[in-house]
Amino acid sequence: MTSNDAMPPLAGPVLHDEIIAARAPWDRIVRRGQTLRIIDLEGNQAVDFLMYRLDDDAERYSAQDTVAAQGNIFLRAGSVLLSSEGNPMARVTATAVAHHDTIGGACSCESNTLRYGFHTKAQHACVENFLHANSHHGLGKRDLVSNINWFMNVPVEPDGALGIVDGISAPGLYVDLRAEMDIVAVISNCPQINNPCNGFNPTPVRVVIAGAAD
């Protein structure tokens, strides 16, 4: 582990430790009780995230249920991430970032061309990453639901519009999720270069899974 006084020790042995390259997809099974730590290595990197129940992937993360249950749009330490069946899938046990987003959605070629112009059509986007990762589990486009954007700052402006502004993360900051059921965790290390969500420069992140082995 990198030395970072703000990062609490992980409970249990490290089972997996990997760098996700800039712009890349990633997926991994995380068992109940294990902790998935995501580290924003260089700062201001949006990490788009989905999760599915391992033994029944019809049950998956629900941003709507999570926001409604906690009465707040931001994810913080203590947030319980609920499924489409209202069951806790994971809990944010610790994070060094003030808040994370779950309403901004994932970037796509379609939204890029609408927002930033047709010249962006061929740029790689989070939807392609999610489709690639989900293909390992027999999931397709209809299985993409509203996601989490770890480390991303999406304030709601006074007129109700969503802002995508400079990140509030910094090099070495982290978020810890403890799985409350066996899940497939899916990440798109966001390739977006047309807005400040990645500081216009996508960078690698690190994922560590710790806890009792399967």
- Report the DSSP beta bridge partners of residue 88: 82
CB of 130 to Zn ion, least distance (A): 9
Contacting Zn ion within 144-173 (CB under 5 A): none
- Kindly state the smallest distance separating residue 178's Cβ from Zn ion, in Å: 25
Closest CA to 45 of 156, 212, 187: 187
138 within 8 A of 63, measured Cβ to Cβ: no
Here the tokens at position 87 are 């069951």
Q: Which stretch binds Zn ion (CB under 5 A): 75-83, 89-97, 120-128, 200-208?
A: 120-128
Q: Closer CB to Zn ion, residue 34 or residue 189?
A: 189
Query: Which range binds Zn ion by CB under 5 A, 20-28, 107-115, 150-158, 170-178?
Result: 107-115
Work out the number of other CB atoms within 10 angstroms of the CB of residue 137: 14
Question: For residue 208, what are the CA distances in angstroms to 73, 161, 198, 205?
Answer: 26, 35, 21, 10
Minimal distance, residue 144 CB to Zn ion, in Å: 12
| Contacting residue, 75, 107, 183, 184, with Zn ion by CB under 5 A | 107
Contact positions vs Zn ion (CB under 5 A): 107, 126, 190, 192
